[in-house]
Chain A
Amino acid sequence: MDLFSKKNKETFFTPLWVNNPVATQVLGICSALAVTSKLEPALVMGLSVTIIVALANVVISLLRNTIPNRIRIIVQLVVVAMLVTIVSQVLKAFAYDVSVQLSVYVGLIITNCILMGRLEAFAMQNKPWESFLDGVGSGLGYALILVIVGFFRELLGSGTLLNFRVIPECLYVKEGGFYMNNGLMVLPPMALIIVACVIWYQRAKNPDLQEKNN
């Protein structure tokens, strides 16, 4: 078996851009709004989702032939909830600072639509290794959008990146300069607008994604 066959590579790379979970499948928008006003939580959230989607995909893929069809969603949910709880417990024990920073967001991963979407659409039909690649790809695709949105929101909204000052303090109005932070950037609606811009750019580059006008 070829671990990195052409098909597997495709499984991994398409969710990163062409079939991006946020921009194309429009999943996980809710958390893209909540955690992106700063770059750092966006990064950590993207990473945690990647890890959990990948693990959940593998577990569900291993169980896929045994899961009774009628309760498959419940089984998926239990697996995801279990993984999220374990990850948050481990973080609390070994990386307390990170867990304090993430606080409620870790729990929110359970409700992330990307997880259920990938489990139901991919892991239920495919072997563990392919499912793992798909999970990592989807997670990173999600993280990519979060980082793009977080980058612009923090830069324009707070004048910092990862809490380091990028726009010099002396340019600000209160220090006698001309510059002001865009307060709208830190509010959730701006995340939607940035996501929309990303989708616009993505579709302009990939005409296949554009809807046909009848």
Chain B
Amino acid sequence: MNTNSNSYTIIYASVMVIIVAFLLAFVSSSLKERQESNVKLDKMKQILTSLNISEDELKQDAEAAYTKYVKADQIIDLNGNVVAENGGFEISSKSLNDEEVSQVPLYVCSVNGETKYVAPLYGAGLWGPIWGYISFNSDKKTVYGTYFSHEGETPGLGAEITTESFRAPFQGKQLQEGGDVKISVVKNGKVTDSSCQVDGISGGTITSKGVDAMLQKCLKRYANFFNK
């Protein structure tokens, strides 16, 4: 058969594309459920990590741990009023950056009998989006824990925001004062006020700045809640 004729080429290309399209559609739809539950489970783990829950406990059964610690996933409006007791989990963190969205999620949790709140964060790093969760005490003034992650920051540099050594210093820092976000990330070694500033990553300046901007921007939406 002449494999170089025009008609053969066109038919070959069309058939190939149809087969590939069907295959990909099939794979995508048959794996969708698993992928979604993975994403959900991962989100739960992220929230719990920001509450300083140990990794061992998360490895065993993250879903059980989530129901144990997270009491409600509230939706609050920008005035700080609770709109709904449940459903905050369904709101994507991305929407925090959308000025028009007026409802934000807030997780009410209980760790060792103490009430903690968790707020989501979402921003931009150097190469792509970065996100995280920040938990704070019931006085709404002190940071209790953090979780950060990223899509494609440079390994060894910006990607270090996920490490314990970057996250740990946040604990105990001042979160806000009268609705103004106090917690901030500064250039490595330039901490002047250790009550609310955290060292950035040397060599990962843009990512560190991204974390700082993300904290400012996202937590600002909780300003009225902080003042309540």
Contact = CB atoms under 8 A, between A and B. Distances in A.
Interface stretch (A46-54, A93-101, A139-147): A93-101
Given A66-B12, A78-B20, A94 B34 contact: yes
Nearest to B127: A104
Interface in B4-63: 4, 8-9, 12-13, 16-17, 20, 23-24, 27-28, 31, 34-35, 38-39, 41-42
B195 interface: no
B67 interface: no
Interface bin, chain B: 20 to 34
B31 A92 contact: yes
B3 interface: yes
Nearest to A150: B155
A185 to B, nearest CB: 8
B152 interface: yes
A41 B155 contact: yes
Interface of A: 35, 37-38, 41, 65-71, 74-75, 78, 82, 85-86, 89-90, 92-94, 96, 100, 103-104, 153-154, 157-158, 183, 186-187
Given A38-B155, A93-B35, 15 more contacts: A35-B155, A66-B12, A67-B3, A68-B8, A68-B13, A70-B9, A82-B20, A86-B24, A96-B35, A96-B39, A96-B41, A103-B151, A104-B127, A157-B156, A186-B203
19 contacts: A37-B157, A41-B155, A67-B3, A68-B3, A68-B12, A69-B3, A69-B4, A74-B13, A75-B13, A78-B20, A82-B20, A85-B27, A86-B27, A89-B35, A93-B31, A96-B38, A96-B42, A157-B156, A186-B155
